[in-house]
Amino acid sequence: MTQGLILLVFLAALVAFGWTRLRRRLGMRITWETIATVMAIFILAVLTLWAFSRR
């Protein structure tokens, strides 16, 4: 289970990295709050999908 959580955080970091690159190209401001929010939303979305698949 720990390996799955580490993978989930790694994937969330990759998504946040891509999101910040996109925002930077659009000329938008990037903060640590933005990165943390994107990671949190991604993690919650994946955990929600996982929970529904386990039913």
Name the residue ranges covered by the structural domains of the chain: 2-53
DSSP conformation class of 16? H
Give me the pLDDT at residue 36, please.
96
Q: Please, what is the average pLDDT of the chain?
A: 94
Indicate the Cα dihedral angle 6, 9, 13, 15, nearest 10°. Answer: 120
pLDDT tens profile 1-55: 889 899 999 999 999 999 999 999 999 999 999 999 999 999 999 999 999 998 8
Q: What is the pTM of this model?
A: 0.85
Instruction: For residue 49, give both structure tokens.
Output: 């999908």
Of 5, 3, 37, 6, nearest to 20 (Cα)? Answer: 37
